[in-house]
Amino acid sequence: MQTGAAYIRVSTEEQTEYSPDSQLGRIRDYADAHQILLPEKYIYLDEGISGRHARTRPAFMRMISDAKEKPRPFDVILLWKFSRFARNRQDSILYKSMLRKECGIEVISITEQLSKDPTSILIEALLEAMDEYYSLNLAEEVRRGMNEKFSRGGVVSVPPFGYRMGDGHFVPDPEKASLIPQIFQDYLAGKSSRQIAAALNAAGIRTNRGKPFQSRTVDYILSNPTYTGKLRRRMHPGQQEMTLTAGEHIPLICEEVFLSVQQTLASRRRCLPPHARQSPADFMLRGLVRCGNCGATLTQSVRGKYLQCCRYARGQCSVSHSVSLAWLNDKVLEQLETAPACPARLKRSLPILRSDKISENEKNELLRSFLSQIVFRRPDNTITLSFCSRDLRTGR
């Protein structure tokens, strides 16, 4: 008997005729009729997932990974229809070819039987093309319908923070709606997005997804015209500009306040130095220094001369750990020089770490081979060097 695998996929709950149970039932009947053994561990199910892209289907990718094992775990993959395997010709050709040529595994549709003669190649290619056309056409029809609904003021997205879903439109959330005017007022009063996020987190307030606020979360709220009674949407794929239309929901802030905040946001962005948007250069202590308050990593500031707790920068840590990178470099090397626990090999490398003979990245790799972490505590400017076997506490 051959050993088979079953791949089952449904895009939505409405596809009752292609439900997982009905697909598996027909596949089992086919396997029994053709003497194919179908172990439970080789039944792969992707439920509620589109077939447009293979990489977004975890069960599919797990099946492909299993198929590459030696010796091969199964001889055939059984499907309800070829469209369950992929609705993308490129993915279909890529994975079917790989399975057949590299693994010796055939992909069989139990409802679209192909003969052994050469014309089956044309039929299979036609089926793949029809599946991709159906997927693209369906996506276009859905997009057209959503655009039409949006143009009439209908809701086609999830409610933002401060609203919840009502009867076809957004309604103010009794617990969160009052926070929106306060956020806008605080920003106009001079508070930064990071400070506002920190205050919200300290009050125990969470986003609609139940996560702590970050500075970018606050920026998103401040730039969202939904709070003025409008709806926004990109009408076409790849379109950069948002289209606005009047919504049916109650505004939480007035147009004047929103425009004032947009001017302030634009002004603060212009004040950022040109290199603020560039990736910081590697530095010797990259990834090693931890915040003494929350344990998060200290990362390089936009100016490159200081480190700061990455969670504090997002408003998720209550204590600033800003520290001069030059001071911290000297402090770490100084303590390594006198530390009894410092390995002899690392001590011999200290002159190299102080020089320009090797790159910052090479220095970082050398330190990582001996140090697990460096904890910096801002209140008293102390550091704790953690070696592989023991800790050495040092202070300024």
Dump pLDDT digits (tens) for 78-121: 998 888 887 777 777 788 888 888 899 988 888 887 756 666 66
pLDDT tens sequence across 347-377: 888 888 888 878 888 888 888 878 888 999 9
The backbone torsions φ and ψ at residue 28, rounded to the nearest 5 degrees and listed phi first, read -65, -40
Q: What distance in Å separates the CA atoms of residue 285 and residue 292, rounded to the nearest whole number?
A: 16
Length of the chain (residues): 396
Of 115 and 255, more confident:
255
Three-class secondary structure of residue 87 per DSSP: coil
* C-alpha span between 153 and 146 (Å, rounded): 11
* Sequence-separated (6 or more) residues with CB below 8 Å from residue 177: 162, 163, 252
Q: pLDDT averaged over the chain? A: 81
C-alpha angle 108-109-111 in degrees, rounded to nearest 5: 145
Q: Quick one: pLDDT at residue 67?
A: 92
Q: Match domain 163-271 to its CATH number in 3.90.1750.20, 3.40.50.1820, 3.10.20.30, 3.40.50.150.
A: 3.90.1750.20
As a whole number of angstroms, the distance between CA 52 and CA 89 comes to: 9
User: Is the confidence at residue 270, as pLDDT, over 60?
Assistant: yes
Handedness of CA 314, 315, 321, 324 (dihedral sign): positive
Looking up tokens 């009408």, which residue turns up?
Answer: 235
Closest CA to 322 of 348, 294, 296, 299: 299
What is the tens place of the pLDDT at every residue in 298-336? 888 766 788 988 888 777 888 888 899 889 999 999 888
pLDDT at 4 over 90: yes
- Which CATH homologous superfamily contains domain 2-134? Resolvase, N-terminal catalytic domain (3.40.50.1390)
Residues 6+ apart with CB under 8 A from 128: 82, 86, 89, 92, 93
Write out pLDDT tens, residues 197-245: 989 998 999 998 888 998 889 999 999 899 998 888 876 666 667 777 8
**Confidence at residue 179, expressed as pLDDT on a 0 to 100 scale:** 94
CA angle 4, 8, 14 (to 5 degrees): 160
User: For the chain, first and last CA: distance in Å?
Assistant: 74
**Both tokens of residue 374?**
């460096």
Higher-pLDDT residue of 60 and 91 is 60
Confidence (pLDDT) at 6: 94
Q: d(Cα 283, Cα 176) in Å, to the nearest integer?
A: 42
Q: Say how far apart CA 123 and CA 112 lie, in whole Å.
A: 10
Residues of the chain with CATH 3.90.1750.20: 163-271
Mean pLDDT for 251-263 is: 91
The continuous run of DSSP H or E covering 230 comes out as strand 230-233
Work out the burial of residue 260: count CB atoms within 10 Å of its CB; fewer than 13 is exposed, 13-18 middle, 19 or more buried: middle
pLDDT at 14 over 50: no
Which among 118, 103, 112, 117 has a CA at the least distance from the CA of 85? Answer: 112
Residue 27: band (very low, low, confident or very high) from pLDDT cuts 50, 70, 90 = very high
Question: Per 3-state DSSP, what percentage of the chain is helix, strand, and coil (rounded to 5)?
Answer: 45, 15, 40
Between these two residues, 66 and 114, which has the higher pLDDT value? Answer: 66
The pLDDT of residue 395 is above 60 = no
Residue 217 near residue 192 (C-beta atoms within 8 A): no
Q: What share of the chain in percent tops pLDDT 70? A: 83
Specify the domain boundaries for CATH 3.40.50.1390 within the chain: 2-134
Does residue 153 or residue 265 have the better pLDDT? 265
pLDDT of residue 345: 79
169-189 pLDDT per residue, tens = 889 999 999 999 999 999 998
Q: Count H helices and E strands in the chain, helices first.
A: 13, 16
Q: Which residue has the tokens 């076809």?
A: 168
Residues in CB range of 42: below 8 A, 6 or more apart = 3, 4, 5, 6, 63, 66, 73, 74
**Is the per-residue pLDDT at 394 higher than 90?**
no
Type of residue at 15? Q
**Closest by alpha carbon to 158, among 207, 223, 219, 228?**
207
Check the CA dihedral 351-354-356-362 and report its sign: positive
Q: How many CB atoms lie within 10 A of CB 118?
A: 7
Given a cut of 80, is residue 253 above it in pLDDT? yes
Whole-prediction pTM = 0.48
Rounded to an integer, what distance in angstroms lies between the CA atom of residue 362 and that of residue 353?
A: 9
Token readout for 205 is: 């307030």
Query: In the predicted model, is pLDDT for residue 281 greater than 70?
Result: no
Name the helix (H) or strand (E) containing 140: helix 119-151
